[in-house]
Amino acid sequence: MENFRKVRTSEEEMPLPFPDLPPDVVEMKVKEGSKIRNLMNFAMAQMELKGRRQIVFSGCGRAVTKTITCVEIMKRKLGGLHQVTKVRYKTVLEVWENQDPLPNGPAQNLTVHKNVPSICILLSRDPLDPNQTGYQPPEPRHEAGENTSGSSTKGLKRPLPPPCEELLPKKLQVQVSDSPRGLGTTTGQLDH
Amino acid sequence: MWAVPGGRVSVRGGATEGAWPGSGGGAGRARMSSGRPAAPSPPPGGLPGPPPPRRRRRGPAPGPPLPAGGNDVFVTSRSDFRAQLRRCQRLLAPGGAPGAAPAPAPPGELRLHGLGLAVPRTINLALQLQAGAGGALRLHASTSSVPLRAPRHRRPAAPDGHESGDGDGEDGDPPRHNSAIHIRLCREAPCA
């Protein structure tokens, strides 16, 4: 078995476990290597600019904790969000290939089916059915205000930029000493 | 691991271990010997000697009080999974834990709490319990953020020499938060 190497990993596609979701609902698929900053930038932009009412975060395996972290950050920043949490198993397929096969033998492949715990969290600005399992009401407004007013960057190393700036082309900032504000900007475009 | 002259330091697990507020267990608690010399014996003349030096120990942050009664299981990634499963099955069985006083929580209800790296294991436990009960269990999952307390040696010293017991980051960096999941399993549906 020491000659086997993992060549491919795929997850089984499963429908979202929430009823009556709009077809264009944003689903944030959190992976183990996903950056929280990138996830939150996109998610916040979707929720604020496009006026969406619902968003879904999903993750499995080692990404479960990161999924919960993203949800908690969003609840702290927006506030007043209704939450429904569903947990279930998800099947992950791993394909292992023998890197050192026998000279005249066929290529040996192993397909491993793993059931890993997964989580799906729905956040909604609109009230949801409180009787469904996994429903969590929004936190009281004064608690959300205290958390955000004191430090909206709790749990983050750097503050998140406003969503509108991320959608505009990046500006090249050049410090100009004779400007009245001490800092001037010249517009330029950077290749991403 | 770091060397302390005249003492021995043992650090268990990561920052998430043993960070449950109010938990009185010893898991994840790091012990550091002060390295101070033994208290001098009182002089032969019978005069009272100096008071013996107090030995300090780091402990978990004093957090909010635990929910009263009920079957609460705090899941860590250090314990054996099968042992955790057996304990949860015993608590869910009619009668609860042997020799335990009647709990105010309704029978057949169990609450699992997982913090940080233990979140996937908590979900796995809950799903295994549900699978073993043949669908007679209902899962109700909720998420939260738990503020972590900085270790004593990293907290800035108070100007008056007294060590503040509240390490919520007023003097320095904002406290770190860790994601937590709370899963309630109950036999009747819907859960109250």
Token pair recorded at residue A181: 């504000």
pLDDT at B43: 57
Token pair recorded at residue B169: 């980051």
Higher-confidence residue of B34 and A30: namely A30
Interchain CB distance below 8 Å, B174 and A83: no
Distance of CA A67 to the CA centre of its chain: 6
Calculate how close chain B gets to A158, using CA atoms only, in Å.
12
- Residue B52, C-beta contacts closer than 8 angstroms, at least 6 positions apart: B39
Number of neighbours of residue A60 by Cβ within 10 angstroms: 28
Number of neighbours of residue B30 by Cβ within 10 angstroms: 15
Distance of CA B24 to the CA centre of its chain: 6
Q: Decide if A48 touches B, using CB distance below 8 A.
A: no
Side-chain-side CA neighbours of residue A151 (13 Å): 15
pLDDT at B32: 44
Which positions in chain A touch B180 (Cβ < 8 Å)? 68
Confidence of residue A161 (pLDDT cuts 50, 70, 90): low
Could you tell me how many CB contacts below 8 A there are between chain A and chain B?
Answer: 67
Instruction: Return the domain boundaries, chain A.
Output: 4-136
Q: Decide if A134 touches B, using CB distance below 8 A.
A: yes
Q: pLDDT digits over A39-57, tens only? A: 999 999 998 876 788 999 9
pTM across the whole model: 0.65
For the residues A154-174, what does the mean pLDDT come to? Answer: 53
Type and span of the H or E element at B114: strand B109-115
Q: Using CA coordinates, name the residue in chain B closest to A63.
A: B120
Q: pLDDT digits over B133-161, tens only? A: 887 889 999 999 998 877 666 656 555 55
pLDDT at B153: 64
- Residue A22, C-beta contacts closer than 8 angstroms, at least 6 positions apart: A54
Token pair recorded at residue B34: 């002060």
pLDDT at A63: 95
For the residues B25-41, what does the mean pLDDT come to? Answer: 48
Q: Using CA coordinates, name the residue in chain A closest to B124.
A: A117
Q: How far apart are CA B113 and CA B180, in angstroms?
A: 7
Q: Cβ distance A64 to B123 under 8 Å?
A: yes
Of B142, B175, B190, the CB nearest to A85: B142
Interchain CB distance below 8 Å, A85 and B175: no
pLDDT at A102: 73
pLDDT at B19: 46
* Among B110, B37, B36, B125, residue whose Cα is nearest residue B69: B110
Residue B78 has pLDDT above 80, yes or no: yes
Any bridge partners for residue A118, and if so which? A60, A88
Q: pLDDT digits over B49-75, tens only? A: 777 777 766 655 555 555 555 689 999
Confidence of residue A147 (pLDDT cuts 50, 70, 90): very low
Number of neighbours of residue B9 by Cβ within 10 angstroms: 12
Supply the DSSP string of chain A, one letter for each residue.
-TTEEEEEEEE-----S-SS--TT-EEEEE-TT--HHHHHHHHHHHHHTS---EEEEEEEGGGHHHHHHHHHHHHHHH---EEEEEEEEEEEEEEEEESS--SSSPPPEEEEEEEEEEEEEEEESS---TTSTTEEPPPPHHHHHHHHHH-TTTT-SSPPPPHHHHHSPPPEEE--TTSTTS-EEE------
Q: Cβ distance B141 to B129 under 8 Å?
A: no
Q: Using CA coordinates, name the residue in chain B closest to A89.
A: B127
Number of neighbours of residue A74 by Cβ within 10 angstroms: 22
| Highest-scoring range by mean pLDDT, A22-26, A150-154, B186-190 | A22-26
* Among A1, A2, A11, residue whose Cα is nearest residue A114: A11
Distance of CA A69 to the CA centre of its chain: 9
Q: Cβ distance B36 to B53 under 8 Å?
A: yes
Q: How far apart are CA A38 and CA A57, in angstroms?
A: 14
Interchain CB distance below 8 Å, A85 and B174: no
The class that CATH gives domain A4-136 is alpha beta
Interchain CB distance below 8 Å, A65 and B117: yes
Which among A30, A36, A65, A82 is the top mutation candidate for probing chain B, defined by the most B β-carbons within 10 Å of its own β-carbon? A65
Interchain CB distance below 8 Å, A87 and B191: no
Interchain CB distance below 8 Å, B174 and A154: yes
